[in-house]
Amino acid sequence: MTPRLSLTAVTRRFEGVTALDGVSLDVAAGEFLALLGGSGSGKSTLLRVIAGFETPDSGTVSLDGADLAGVPPHRRPVNMMFQSYALFPHMSVAANIGYGLRREGRPRAEIEARVAQAVATVRLEGMEKRRPDALSGGQRQRVALARALVKRPRLLLLDEPLGALDANLRERTGFELRAIQRESGAAFVMVTHDQAEALALADRVAVMDRGRLLQVAPPRELYERPATRFVATFLGAANILSGARTADGALHCHEAACTLRAPTPIPEGTAAAAIRPERIRIATTTGDNTAAGTVEEAAFRGESSLLLVRLAGGALIRVSHAEEGGAPPPRGTPVHLAWDADAVVPLAE
Amino acid sequence: MKAVLRLIPAAWLALLVAAPLVLVAIMALSWQAEGVPPYSPPWAGEGINPDNLRLLAEDPHYRDALAQSLVVAALTAGLCLLVATPMGIAIARAGRGRNALLGAVLLPFWTGFLIRIGAWIGLLRDEGWINSVLRALGWIDQPLPLLYSNGAMLLGMVHAYLPFAVLPVFAAATRLDPVLEQAAADLGATPGRAFLTITLPQLLPALAAAFLLVFIPAAGEYVIPELLGPADATLVGRVLFQEFFQNRDWPVASALAIALLALLLGPIILFQRLGRSA
Amino acid sequence: MTPRWLRVAMWAGLAFLWLPVALLVAYAFSADPVPFRWGGFSTRWFTALAANDRLLEAAWLSLRVAAGAATLAVLLGSATGWVLARHGPFAGRAVFGALAGAPLVLPEVVTGLSLLLLFVALEGATGWPEGRGALTVLLAHATLGTAYAAVVIQSRLASRDRDLEEAARDLGAGPATAFATVTLPLMAPSLAAAWLLAFTLSLDDVVLASFVSGPAGTTLPVALFSMLRLGMTPEVNALATLLLVAAGVTLAAVGWLLRPRE
């Protein structure tokens, strides 16, 4: 089956800076994909390339198999929800939402019906006559979403769609966004710098850094099996231990004074591995996949406590201690730590 | 301390702005008289003189002057807007060269408008630059009567007032969010459509302000019609000068000033509203 | 993404503004006594200008009047702008504001006529000012300049500087010290801009000066106006060129003084 969106080796340079470096990516119809990366990672440039505001120096962008090269933004069956929302300040909510349909030259009755439907979808009934500056941040966000969706795009691009909302609204709006995406059946490509948002909303997450795509995977896989040191760092919270590969396929970590052993031999050239804090437990065993240290700080986190443990080799690692396992050891307590072999995730550079 | 600080400018404004305007109003109700100064005020025995203002309403000479001034001012402001709108927008979007381009628009303002009027005289005269060029090209035998025409007058007015019209458009255009035009394109608007439906409507208050900023002073313009216009271009500024200096009829000149002010009151109030909301 | 037609229109507008002026300057160096006709390169009109006592006198008077009017305008404009920006509501504020802004919107002929009537009435009542000349022109120009200066200074004062003053007070400066060390230095560029604006307005004015100047108060624009009434002479070209150069040099100097520091 032809993917909805297909990017092949897309490259874009600005005055010597490579914003996109050979990005290839497929998005299926009905899929929700998140482009995750920091500022300067190229994620926004990629979105603008798909929308047609940037022209790639090389590579192709195609939609349902049709090459989009040379198609100007206003002729692409792709719509974008802008980070600033870009609502037209001189038009009412209804006029904003109907703008794209008027450009298509739809009959008036159809425009009115579809606008009313879109207004209902984003629950803005009664607000149709208001100007954008008389709306709250959450309401503006919904107008922007309705304005893009009412055109029934085959692909909707969302630039930090929750970025301007406060923490309370984010969670609820995120769920709404998912529901709307499922109902509309459009493919969504969302840009975000917030890994929690990406993991929570998307079917697949594509991690970008310096114009390159590092890993594309479903949220759970990405979280549990980050492929590179950057991805593991960016997703946060994991302990990353550097070391040297031993002849028998383990990783000896000098700073942690321990040896890490995965279920299968660690590939050659690997110099780091990740272990998530919740996979580490306090134990009494010794040998591979154990380490000794002293509790330096303990922070209560509700269902668990986060311990910072200084290992004998000098490294500081994070351990998540479940509350049902009893009170965590107090500061200064010497502890032994242990983890299972399948908790060790070898990281490429 | 605060009250004293307020008193100084308040006294200045009362003496040099308020009192003179009151004097104009009194003069409009006074009688022309032989002597120095050539008038006799309402309290000198003859009472209030209603004839000056009545004359303006009844005598077509004055009525036409007022009407013609408004037409010329509107034409000037409209033409200025036509030229200034694309200029202001383009300069606002010029990126790094923006300040230099804005300077190029404003520099003529700093060099004085008489010089620019002089340049037009030199270009448009019968033996002027344009006629000599056309003659050298063999396109004409007789010089075209360019100077002292309505066209020359409008040209000079537009040239003199253009920088005033560019400024508000430029200021408003720099505040426009370029993402909005992209959003319009994303929703299917061609560049021309996006300009008409998104950019222009947002500039409307600034365009109205620019129009009035030209219209208000142009309505009372004296120098440019005098230097470039035809002798029969009896605009209110010129008539006022004639009444005052040649006929020494201070009361009628003052009545003309009052009438001009009355006609401009609406535009002035509108302009100040626009300025406050911007 | 500037459409091409916008840029074309912009350059056309700039050409319209500048071409007449450029030709004016070019022909200032023509030897031909008919203006705007090329008769070989010559600086004879500049020499002729230097011998024209009437014009030189007018120019000298104009400079003095403009400098005086600009200085007075900045002083009064600062007080006016300060009252409007910082005094909050007070009885008569609306009238004060309307009077402060009136010269900006009144047609010149109205302002000129009204000021002349004032000077005539004052002389009749008090004997001062005696006749009309440089002093009355200066006062008229200061009236116009004050209105412009007040706008420039008020908008500067109305912006966020108040926090800075309060910070200075918080750090131990008295009101006068805070004003002298924080407010005044921050306002210096606006004061300079206001002075320059008032100076330029004075140097450019024909109408007010025509009303309130007597025979002893012929400023340069008034003299230039009466020359232009009789048509163009190459001397006017030369004078215009000098004025352009002066304005350009002044603006460049001001731009350099007010350049953003790294």
**Interval A19-71: pLDDT, tens:** 999 999 999 999 999 999 998 899 999 999 999 999 999 999 999 999 999 89
- Specify the pairing of strand A204-209 against strand A32-36: parallel
pLDDT tier for residue B71 given thresholds of 50, 70 and 90:
very high
How many percent of chain A have pLDDT more than 90? 54
Domains and CATH numbers, chain B: 1-49 (no CATH), 59-277 (1.10.3720.10)
Q: Is A304 helix (H, G, I), strand (E, B) or coil?
A: strand
Measured between alpha carbons, how far is residue C176 from residues B86, B244, C13, C84, C192 in Å? 48, 50, 49, 20, 21
**Could you give the ipTM of this predicted complex?**
0.90
| Residue A74 contacts B, CB cutoff 8 Å | yes
The yes-or-no verdict on residue C3 having pLDDT over 80 is no
Nearest-10 crossing angle of helices B98-110, C4-27: 40
B180 close contact with A: CB closer than 8 A: yes
User: With bands split at pLDDT 50, 70 and 90, how would you rate the model's confidence at B211?
Assistant: very high
In 3-state terms, what secondary structure has residue B182?
A: helix
Residues 6+ apart with CB under 8 A from A203: A31, A32, A33, A218
Query: Average pLDDT of B250-259?
Result: 94
Q: Ramachandran region of residue B235, left (φ > 0), alpha (ψ -120 to 50) or beta?
A: beta
- Residues C94 and B268: their CA atoms lie apart, in Å, by 16
- Does residue B259 have a pLDDT over 70? yes
Q: Is there a shared CATH topology between the A5-229 domain and the A237-347 domain?
A: no
What is the structure's pLDDT at A303? 83
Nearest to A162 by CA among A204, A127, A190: A190
Q: Smallest Cα–Cα separation from C124: which of B155, B95, B39, A144?
A: B39
Rounded CA-CA distance C235/C237 in Å is 5
Q: Which of B21, B81, B126 is best to mutate for the C interface (most C CBs within 10 A)?
A: B21
pTM greater than 0.90: no
Mutate: best of C1, C4, C5, C6, partner B, most B CBs <10 A: C6
Ramachandran assignment for B53, one of left (phi > 0), alpha (psi -120 to 50 degrees), beta (any other): alpha
Amino acid present at C246: A
Q: Give C96→chain B minimum CA distance, Å.
A: 7
A125 touches chain B (CB under 8 A): no
Q: Which of C27, C229, C251 sits opposite B110 (nearest CB)?
A: C251
Q: What confidence category does residue C261 fall into, taking pLDDT thresholds of 50, 70 and 90?
A: low
Q: What CA–CA distance (Å, rounded) separates A298 from C89? A: 58
Q: Do A73 and B186 touch (CB under 8 A)?
A: yes
- State the average pLDDT for chain B: 90
Residue C160 scores a pLDDT above 70: no
Domain boundaries, chain A: 5-229, 237-347
Q: Which domains does chain C have, with CATH numbers?
A: 19-51+232-262 (no CATH), 53-216 (1.10.3720.10)
Residue of A73 and C250 predicted with greater confidence: A73
Residue B277 — pLDDT band, cuts 50, 70, 90? Answer: low
Find, in chain B, the residue whose alpha carbon is nearest to that of C33: B127
CATH code of the domain made up of A5-229: 3.40.50.300
C neighbours by CB contacts (3+ pairs under 8 Å): B
Q: Which residue has the higher pLDDT, A6 or C161?
A: A6
Cα A161 from Cα A181, distance rounded (Å)? 13
Question: How confident is the model at residue A198, as a pLDDT?
Answer: 92
d(Cα A7, Cα B53) in Å, to the nearest integer?
78
User: By percentage, how much of chain B surpasses pLDDT 90?
Assistant: 57
| Sign of CA pseudo-dihedral A211, A216, A218, A220 | negative
C21 touches B111 (CB < 8 A): yes
B64-78, B214-228, C138-152, C156-170: range with lowest mean pLDDT: C156-170
Q: Which of C156, C150, C163 is nearest to C184 (CA)?
A: C156
Helix (H, G, I), strand (E, B) or coil at A334: strand
Residue A80 has pLDDT above 70, yes or no: yes
In sequence order, what DSSP letters do the residues of A50-100 get, joined into one string? HHTSS--SEEEEEETTEE-TT--GGGSSEEEE-TT----TTS-HHHHHHHH
Verify whether the Cβ–Cβ distance A74 to B180 is below 8 Å: no
Residue B278 is predicted with a pLDDT of: 56
Q: Which of the pair, B44 or B68, is modelled with greater confidence?
A: B68
Q: Are A228 and A348 in contact (CB under 8 A)?
A: yes
CATH of A237-347, one of 2.40.50.140, 2.60.40.10, 1.10.275.10, 2.50.20.10: 2.40.50.140
Q: What is the pLDDT of residues C20-75, one digit of tens each?
A: 888 888 888 988 888 888 888 888 889 988 888 888 899 999 999 999 999 999 99
Query: Could you tell me how many CB contacts below 8 A there are between chain A and chain B?
Result: 59
d(CA A77, CA A292): 59
pLDDT confidence of residue B100 = 86
pLDDT digits (tens, 9 = 90+) for A204-217: 999 999 999 999 99
Residue C2: pLDDT band with limits 50, 70, 90: low
- 3-state class of A208 per DSSP? strand
DSSP reduced 3-state for A287: coil
Which residue in the set B180, B188, B190 is minimally distant from A88, CB to CB? B180
